[in-house]
Chains A and B, each alone.
Chain A
Amino acid sequence: MNSRTPTPRAKSAFGIDENGGTPLVVKATRRGRGLVFERVDSQCLSTPLPRSVQAACLFQRESFTRWLTAPIASPRKAGTVFHSLLDIQLPFSVEDCEVALLAMRPTPDRTGTRGLVAGARGADIAKRLESLAAAGFNPHFLDQEGIALWSRCLDELPPLPDVPAVRVLIYSSSDRVTLIIGQGDEFITAHTMRVLDPDAIHRILKSTFPIQPETTQWIWAGPGALAGGEVSAWHAALTTRWPGTMKIVHEPETFLARALAARALTDGANRCNLRTGRFLHPFLAEWNERQPARWAIACLAAGLLLCLVNLVWQFAVGQRLAQAQQHLRALSVAVNGTPGGVIPAGKEVLAARRTMEARTRDMEPFLAATERPLQGALNAILSSAREEGVSIETMTLSLKNGVVHGIAPKLAQGEKLATRLNGGGWTTTIERKESSPGDERVAFVIGMGRAREKK
């Protein structure tokens, strides 16, 4: 007991209904996130379109739907007993049927699981397929009429908070009337009758709802719903005992065909195909048979793609590293000026730094003449000393260090001078010295060293 078997993703689907033996076909095509429906001539199905599927249905009189309750909370375990539960309920052997489990819900007390199943006897399926074949159809899917009508009703008329929760959908055709009862968005049951019989509907509703709801929403569909006067009369007859509002769906005559086409094309709740097992469409049977091979090919392709991507990645990384190394070598040669020199990989910067250190030492006289750092420092010291009121006794200055022996009325002036020299790229220290006897001024020594430039 399975839900719909996997099928290829189709671009379009044809829903096949019939009204008094006349086929009624609707084509559904994906457009954006939605579907576009178009009524088409049944002749256009004589040559199957690529990537399109056909869906017909087993009428309510040829099939059944049941809600089964298993006293098991686990849906997985409950799913295994529904088959036996259904066998007990059916007047014929379930083994002769094609059955699909459509939905599972926990019971209100959460101690059990309810399952919605749809099915049909093999003989009825064979008969239906024969009748469809006689009309020139070979549908991929055989849906269940009541379930299909209910799901289309939910799509086109979703339940709203301000409309009655109990909904009765009447699909009226020339040869049958199908009654679907639901509450909110949940399918409850479906029945069929040859002609619309308000008493029979009353009995069905009474057995479904022992406590009568305040209002009921009556939804009309099918070719019979086109006769507005008749519908109003039937509605008046029904609402004497089950009062409620009336709604006729948009384009009622193609409602079932639309439902079948939409369900064949999209995934969603309560999807089913009763053309399974020995009745499976040859195309789907072949497709299913090829499924393992398709998976294997997909895995093989994925594996090969993975290998290819990784190999390309590793090659690209290798190339990038080689290019970077080549660039480094070229730069290193440009700095060292020895194209033939062997510099081990990874030591390029070290070698270049050593070369540049040696060259910088050699270039010092040239740089000193251009930048004149010592002359600038000498001027700065002399002018700072003058501004701070410091007298310089002796001063020794070289490119790397210096010593200033000074005297000032206060040590603070010497400290200020040292601070100012700090800003000029020197690192200074100041030390107080003993002044000459009789001299009230403060003697100090400022030691200077070139501050190391941060790289």
Chain B
Amino acid sequence: MKRSNSTLIKLWIAASLSLAAGLLLTVRSLSGLPRTTELLARKVADSRDLTELRLQADRYQVLLEHYSCLPAMPTGFETLVRSTLPGAAMTTRATATLPSVPGWTVKKVSVDFTDITGEELGRMLEAGAAAQPPWSLVECTLFASPVAGRMAKASLVMETAGRNVTSP
């Protein structure tokens, strides 16, 4: 009887200890729950943001791959204008070659047109966009002409990208 009582006491002690430990762990789990939830929510949000950025990076990569398929050196802008608007009065103010993404350079040209129509300007920009690699407009200043439909002066800054070609 004595032995059975001592076993029962031991059993109750073990039960009390396990219940206390279980309750402590439960309290710990529950108290840590808001923080865990917040942490997980933040990680999910970060993951969403990073996925978006990765998609953007992938788009850039695709764009560069597309450019890699085009001729390494762009057609000269002056050549382009001469072939599109043979009689246009154009002055090249400046040219610059700037570094860009590794392996690529950006060529900028500042040109002034005098006495040009809006339609001619549009045609010239379309031709630039159709060139391979394309020329794009990055800045322009237009001055109206007393003659309807014409511009006294159009100053444009055009740019294009080309691959760095190392000579053999």
Contact = CB atoms under 8 A, between A and B. Distances in A.
Interface in B1-54: 7-8, 11-12, 14-23, 25-26, 28-29, 36, 39-40, 43-44, 46-47, 49-51, 53-54
A317 interface: yes
Contacts of B16: 299, 303
A306 B43 CA distance: 29
- Top-10 shortest CB links A-B: A306-B22, A303-B18, A310-B25, A299-B15, A303-B19, A331-B50, A300-B15, A324-B43, A296-B11, A369-B136
B69 interface: no
A302 B159 contact: no
A119 B44 CA distance: 70
Nearest to A405: B144
Contacts of B138: 365, 368, 374, 398-399
B142 interface: yes
Given A293-B8, A365-B160, A368-B138, A304 B18 contact: yes
B112 to A, nearest CB: 14
Chain B interface residue bracket vs A? 35 or more
Given A362-B100, A375-B129, A394 B22 contact: no
A296 B57 CA distance: 62
B161 interface: yes
A89 interface: no
A310 B129 contact: no
Interface residues of A, number: 57
B111 interface: no
Contacts of B67: 366
Interface of A: 292-293, 296-297, 299-300, 302-307, 310-311, 313-314, 317, 320-321, 324-325, 327-328, 331-332, 334-335, 348-349, 352-353, 356, 359-360, 362-363, 365-370, 372, 374-375, 378-379, 382, 391-399
B73 to A, nearest CB: 15
Nearest to B33: A317
Contact of A359 (B18, B22, B39, B60): B60
B61 to A, nearest CB: 10
B44 A324 contact: yes
Contacts of A304: 18, 22
Given A311-B25, A362-B100, A379-B122, A296 B8 contact: yes
A218 B21 CA distance: 62
A182 to B, nearest CB: 45
A320 B40 contact: yes
B22 A313 contact: no
A363 B22 contact: no
Given A302-B22, A335-B53, A362-B101, A392 B29 contact: no
A393 B21 contact: no
Interface of B: 7-8, 11-12, 14-23, 25-26, 28-29, 36, 39-40, 43-44, 46-47, 49-51, 53-54, 56-57, 60, 63-64, 67, 100-101, 106, 118, 122, 125, 129, 133-144, 159-161
Nearest to A395: B142
A446 B15 CA distance: 81
A101 to B, nearest CB: 29
Contacts of B106: 365
A368 B136 contact: yes
A288 to B, nearest CB: 14
Contact of A378 (B101, B133, B140, B161): B140
Given A296-B15, A335-B53, A366 B64 contact: yes
A379 B26 CA distance: 67
Given A328-B43, A352-B50, A365-B100, A303 B136 contact: no
Given A372-B137, A398-B138, A399-B138, 4 more contacts: A299-B16, A303-B22, A394-B142, A397-B141
Which of A327, A349, A379, A399: most chain B Cβ within 10 A? A349
A321 B161 contact: no
B136 A374 contact: yes
A382 B53 contact: no
Contacts of A369: 129, 133-136, 160-161
Q: Which among B8, B64, B144 has the greatest number of chain A C-beta atoms within 10 A?
A: B144
B66 to A, nearest CB: 8
Contacts of A365: 100, 106, 136, 138, 159-161
B47 A324 contact: yes
Contacts of A394: 141-144
A250 to B, nearest CB: 49
Contacts of B118: 382
A310 B60 contact: no
B137 A378 contact: yes
Contacts of B21: 303, 306-307
